[in-house]
């Protein structure tokens, strides 16, 4: 199915044409073949969850991740975020640690980042599906072309945004963004491999200062405890 109904309504005008492209039809066929063979994450109904949670005209911040969590029941379509009740992954734990040190926000008991998404933080992975248990298994199949179109759509809006590019992979997307109009916050990735460089980089202060300059209320980074 490559009908524009797959996309959340607010994104159809700017991304609907992508779904008609040959690469996207081939991508959908590939993903369906993968689902026929075994687990693919996230579930079909959550592939576009980031776009659903953050409408096109409400994007204030775009955070770019790489690909979904590949463990059963972890991811739900928002980068770095996991479902309630799932153990907080290492990169997100480091994000919380930096947030606590930088802003004094309490470290939450969960990794469910929907409160950020509802405030205009688009939590976008570059690749939107993954084979269960195999990281990067859907890399290079076409998702990158689609998510580049998402980045470009936000970058082309009259209303400026803040783009958060952590790590070398994300920073390869810099050519898609006009830095004279938008603010780019870049730095080391929060993964345990590069966390020493990530800690102390004060990304949340940079983001909120930029959001304020762009005329929007700052993001409340507090993630409520779920108990």
Helices (H), the chain: 9-15, 22-37, 49-53, 90-103, 114-117, 143-156, 167-171, 195-198, 203-213
Which residue is listed with tokens 């996991």?
82
Which residue is listed with tokens 């799932």?
86
What phi and psi, each to the nearest 5 degrees, are found at residue 164? Answer: -110, 115
Active site residue 67: yes
Which residue of the set 17, 57, 67, 159 is catalytic? 67
Nearest by Cα to 183 from 200, 205, 199: 205
Secondary structure of residue 81 in the 3-state scheme: coil
Q: Give counts: helices (H), strands (E), the chain.
A: 9, 6
Active-site residue list: 67
């Amino acid at each position: 199915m490559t009908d524009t109904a797959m996309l959340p309504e607010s994104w159809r005008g700017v991304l609907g044409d992508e779904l008609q492209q040959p690469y996207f039809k081939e991508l959908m066929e590939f993903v369906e073949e993968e689902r026929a063979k075994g687990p693919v994450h996230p579930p079909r109904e959550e592939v576009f969850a980031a776009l659903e949670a953050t409408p096109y005209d409400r994007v204030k911040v775009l955070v770019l991740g790489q690909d979904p969590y590949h463990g059963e029941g972890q991811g739900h379509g928002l980068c770095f975020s996991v479902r309630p009740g799932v153990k907080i992954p290492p990169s997100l734990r480091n994000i919380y640690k930096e947030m606590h040190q930088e802003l004094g926000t309490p470290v939450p008991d969960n990794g469910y980042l929907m409160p950020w998404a509802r405030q205009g933080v688009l939590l976008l992975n570059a690749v939107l599906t993954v084979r269960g248990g195999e990281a990067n298994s859907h890399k290079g199949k076409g998702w990158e072309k689609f998510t580049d179109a998402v980045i470009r759509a936000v970058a082309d809006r009259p209303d400026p945004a803040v783009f958060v590019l952590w790590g070398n992979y994300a920073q390869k997307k810099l050519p898609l963004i006009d830095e004279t109009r938008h603010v780019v916050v870049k730095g080391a990735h929060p993964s345990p491999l590069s966390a020493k460089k990530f800690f102390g980089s004060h990304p949340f202060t940079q983001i909120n200062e930029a959001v304020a300059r762009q005329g929007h209320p700052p993001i409340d980074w507090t993630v409520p405890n779920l108990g």
